[in-house]
Chain A
Amino acid sequence: RKEVEQDPGPFNVPEGATVAFNCTYSNSASQSFFWYRQDCRKEPKLLMSVYSSGNEDGRFTAQLNRASQYISLLIRDSKLSDSATYLCVVNCHNDYKLSFGAGTTVTVRA
């Protein structure tokens, strides 16, 4: 089983719509959680960290469910510029390594 699994999508949504997707992780010792964004043929960049109580950054909301071992990302009022692949990233306790999911592709259409 992969350490981090994501629905690859693609999620095709109109501008202004809300889109949400999850990521599951297998290691219960995981400590830190992140969402990275990757544009086509570009490097990944940090979108936001995910905190235990959930957190928002503008139109983006991240949630963590430790009991079920998943994190989620919700994008409100989608913009064309939100079209990208969103990578779920998990860091285990006592480990320097980041584990990446394969990514969820979101396409926002006009």
Chain B
Amino acid sequence: NAGVTQTPKFQVLKTGQSMTLQCAQDMNHNSMYWYRQDPGMGLRLIYYSASEGTTDKGEVPNGYNVSRLNKREFSLRLESAAPSQTSVYFCASSDPKVIGARTEAFFGQGTRLTVV
């Protein structure tokens, strides 16, 4: 009963390095999301995918790219990491049958990323 699985759980990068955060869900959800959480800021949406084959920018997309590989997987890529991207990253999924429908979002355990 995995739910949403994120890898890695921890990562330290040097400025300018690249990396991809992986996310997979086994609940057959249509929508997937990437958030970052910083102290005092709450969760901010980076990118989301309303359904397989679509991706859209969220509140803070600069410096990130995403790929909705298939219905299960949604990856987040940092092409050239910067110290400002030090954060905790959460992947989430949900299954709103219609836009705005009351539906629970399930989160992965998070990735703690430090960029030095």
Which residues in A have some Cβ–Cβ distance to B below 8 Å?
Answer: 4, 6, 8, 31-32, 34, 41-46, 49, 87, 91-103
B→A interface (CB under 8 Å): 31, 33, 35, 40-45, 48, 50, 58, 90, 94, 96, 99-102, 104-105, 107-110
> Who on chain B is nearest to A46 by CB?
B104
Q: Taking CB as reference atom, which chain A residue is nearest B40? A: A102
Query: How many A-B Cβ pairs are below 8 Å?
Result: 58
Beta-carbon contact of A45 and B107 below 8 Å: yes
A102 and B41: CB pair below 8 A? yes
Question: Do A93 and B99 contact each other (CB < 8 Å), given the known contacts A43-B110, A101-B42, A102-B41?
Answer: yes
**Residues of A contacting B101 with CB < 8 Å?**
32
Q: How far does the alpha carbon of A94 sit from the alpha carbon of B100 in the complex, in Å?
A: 6
Least Cβ–Cβ distance between A85 and chain B, in angstroms? 10
| Residues of A contacting B108 in the complex (Cβ-Cβ under 8 angstroms) | 43
26 sample A-B contacts, Cβ–Cβ < 8 Å, listed by A number:
A6-B42, A31-B100, A32-B101, A32-B102, A34-B104, A43-B90, A43-B108, A43-B109, A44-B43, A46-B104, A87-B43, A91-B100, A93-B100, A94-B99, A94-B100, A96-B48, A96-B99, A96-B100, A97-B45, A97-B48, A97-B58, A98-B33, A98-B105, A100-B44, A101-B42, A102-B41
